[in-house]
Chains A and B, each alone.
Chain A
Amino acid sequence: MTRTLLMLTAHQLLGQRRAIVIALLALIPIVITLLYRLAGDTEGAYGFTVDMVGGFVFTLLLPIGALVFGTAALGSEVEDGTIVYLLARPIARWRIVVAKAVVASLATMVLTVPATLIMVLIALEGLGSDSLWLAAVVAGIAGSIVYSTLFVGLSTITGRALIIGLVYVFVWEAFITSLFDGTRWISVRQYVFGISDALTSAPEVTASLDGSQALIASAIVVAVSLLVGVRFLKRFEIGEQS
């Protein structure tokens, strides 16, 4: 049953036009990297890679992908009313939430990780030094899990999870966090930077949280999102959505 649920969700998330458009977004860093190589100058390839991963993949591609997949995994079932058929089955509610979170995380990884790897390979003509690629990939995977789970949890609370998630990513993480340093603890973006900073010795990569702090905070966010998601799905009342 769980397997069916996983397959079904994967089909819902990846089998639509939406997935193709999002995939185009993942092609952007690869195209830019190709342009960069074609322009000839490879002296700053290292800094370029760090800029692309930090400035595009972690701050745009990752949160946007997680927002789309995370809020759609459960949210579109609630919106379309098909959640009823899921809840009427003898599946524990926590299984539903976990399955949705797992598939959303995987979908976000599929979006970000290959794009990151291909980009690094093109820009550095190989994996490069300082295990930069490892930092980018591991932080990308961790970020996919944290963001996606967070948004799956959020989508069980409200039908407008997408816009609230957008405000969180682009107003809170981008705007408020840059004004008030103390808010770095409540910013998934900072966790992602913290994890990537811990894994590479490259001096260009800096973060305001260190690796273990970021990891602990990430684990807390995932756990709380799942707990909240299960709790709200247990109390879910059919036919009373706003």
Chain B
Amino acid sequence: MTTPEPAPSGAIYDLGYQGYEGPRLGRLYALWSLYLLSLRNAFGIGRGALPKVLAFGLVVFAFTPAVVTLIVGAVVPADDFEIFAPRDYYGIIQFILVIFVAAIASDLVGNDRRSRTLALYFSRPIERDDYALAKIAALSSSLLALTVLPQVVMFAGNALGAANGLDWMRDNVDDVPRFVASGLILCVTFGAVGILVASYAERRAFALISVVAIFFVSLTVVGIIISEIDSDQVRWSLFLSPLHVIDGSTAYIFDAIPQVDEFSRNGEPINQVAWADFPGYIWPLASLAWAALASAIVVRRFRGSI
């Protein structure tokens, strides 16, 4: 752009105001910046001490099963020794994931509203839809550190610890695409649902409780309905519980949906999923449907007045 030499405009004082002439990086760059900022905020980087302790504390909890497996694997000299198998991993740390989602989602969405920076974002090239999706993407990506990362560490550690690392790798290499795929589906679903619930709560405290309640109350209520109400129609209620759906998705991807027996109905969520006897591929699809629906509602939410 060529600007004509600005005429001297200061009547008495020249305050030195200048127009910006550098490159305009545009909407995509703004989106990328917002994503990176949110991702940093998720782990408390650039914030106080407590958010860091909280986020990394939960990461440590999520790594516990992997670390335990590696330590025991190093002590016990058997090759096929597994305490926590990759297919069970996400189910074991589910509670930690939900707390992490609640804590981070309420921060990511709530802080901008509380400190009134939301209006500033929307006055920049960033669109409202971009904002909503950047937040979901940031939460989902931060979840990778609690899901896929411990699996990778566990896999690498087991391979290095095995008597014949290459053989072990050859036997177990199938697990890698499986835990990556199921982990990605889990992260996207958790991220979208978390941001959805948090974006509707006005106070941060309430956002926290609501996210936790949505996951756990639906898990418990659907679990009780399935096991106690004697009707085959109740199997459809499984789709209302995101944790059931994600369990089913992970089990299907690992080809590990358990056998149905007479106790399945009263058992763990995954046994209830098996009891419902839907075709297995429906679980990853249902999980992605949850993610898509939640994202759509979040986008709608931020288009309205905040």
- Give A59's nearest chain B residue, CB to CB: B220
Q: Does any Cβ of B come within 8 Å of A91's Cβ?
A: no
Contacts of A71 in B (CB 8 A): 205
Q: What is the size, in residues, of chain A's interface with B at 8 Å between Cβ atoms?
A: 36
Contact A40 B225 (CB under 8 A): no
Contact of A166 among B61, B208, B228, B229 (CB under 8 A): B208
Interface residues of B in 182-232 (CB under 8 A from A): 205-206, 208-210, 212-213, 216-217, 220-221, 223-225, 227-231
Q: Does any Cβ of B come within 8 Å of A60's Cβ?
A: yes
Q: In whole angstroms, what is the CA distance A83 to B218 when docked?
A: 36
Contact B95 A175 (CB under 8 A): yes
Contact B213 A163 (CB under 8 A): no
**A124 CB, min distance to chain B CBs, angstroms:** 14
Contact B217 A25 (CB under 8 A): yes
- Give B227's nearest chain A residue, CB to CB: A51
Given contacts A18-B206, A41-B230, A242-B50, contact A171 B61 (CB under 8 A): yes
Secondary structure call for the A interface? helix
Q: Does any Cβ of A come within 8 Å of B102's Cβ?
A: yes
- Give B233's nearest chain A residue, CB to CB: A39
Interface residues of A in 72-111 (CB under 8 A from B): 72, 75-76
Given contacts A32-B225, A72-B205, contact A171 B99 (CB under 8 A): yes
Contact A32 B99 (CB under 8 A): no
Contact A52 B224 (CB under 8 A): yes
Contact B206 A36 (CB under 8 A): no
Q: Does any Cβ of B come within 8 Å of A56's Cβ?
A: yes
Q: Does any Cβ of A come within 8 Å of B58's Cβ?
A: yes
Given contacts A48-B228, A170-B216, contact A162 B95 (CB under 8 A): no
Contacts of B108 in A (CB 8 A): none
Contact of B221 among A28, A39, A75 (CB under 8 A): A28
Most buried by A among B57, B103, B224, B225: B224
Given contacts A36-B229, A171-B95, contact A55 B224 (CB under 8 A): yes
Interface residues of A in 157-200 (CB under 8 A from B): 158, 160, 162-163, 166-167, 170-171, 174-175
Contact A171 B224 (CB under 8 A): no
Q: In whole angstroms, what is the CA distance A41 to B227 when docked?
A: 12
Interface bits B34-78 vs A (CB < 8 Å: 1, else 0): 000000000000001010001001100100000000000000000
Contact B205 A56 (CB under 8 A): no
Q: In whole angstroms, what is the CA distance A175 to B227 when docked?
A: 22
- Give A47's nearest chain B residue, CB to CB: B228
Q: In whole angstroms, what is the CA distance A25 to B95 when docked?
A: 20
Contact of B209 among A55, A56, A68, A175 (CB under 8 A): A68
- Give B219's nearest chain A residue, CB to CB: A60
Contact B229 A39 (CB under 8 A): yes
Contacts of B213 in A (CB 8 A): 25, 60, 64
Q: Does any Cβ of B come within 8 Å of A44's Cβ?
A: yes
**B34 CB, min distance to chain A CBs, angstroms:** 24
Given contacts A25-B217, A166-B99, A171-B99, contact A39 B224 (CB under 8 A): no
Q: Does any Cβ of B come within 8 Å of A135's Cβ?
A: no
Q: In whole angstroms, what is the CA distance A193 to B43 when docked?
A: 36
- Give B65's nearest chain A residue, CB to CB: A179
Contact A35 B229 (CB under 8 A): yes
What 4 A-B pairs come out closest when comparing CB atoms? A41-B230, A39-B229, A175-B95, A48-B228
Q: Which residues of A contact B (CB under 8 A)?
A: 18, 21, 25, 28, 32, 35-36, 39-41, 44, 48, 51-52, 55-56, 59-60, 64, 67-68, 71-72, 75-76, 158, 160, 162-163, 166-167, 170-171, 174-175, 242
Could you pull out 24 A-B pairs where Cβ atoms are within 8 angstroms? A21-B206, A25-B217, A32-B225, A32-B228, A51-B228, A52-B224, A59-B220, A64-B212, A64-B213, A67-B209, A71-B205, A72-B205, A158-B50, A160-B50, A162-B208, A163-B208, A166-B99, A166-B102, A166-B208, A170-B99, A171-B58, A171-B95, A175-B93, A242-B48
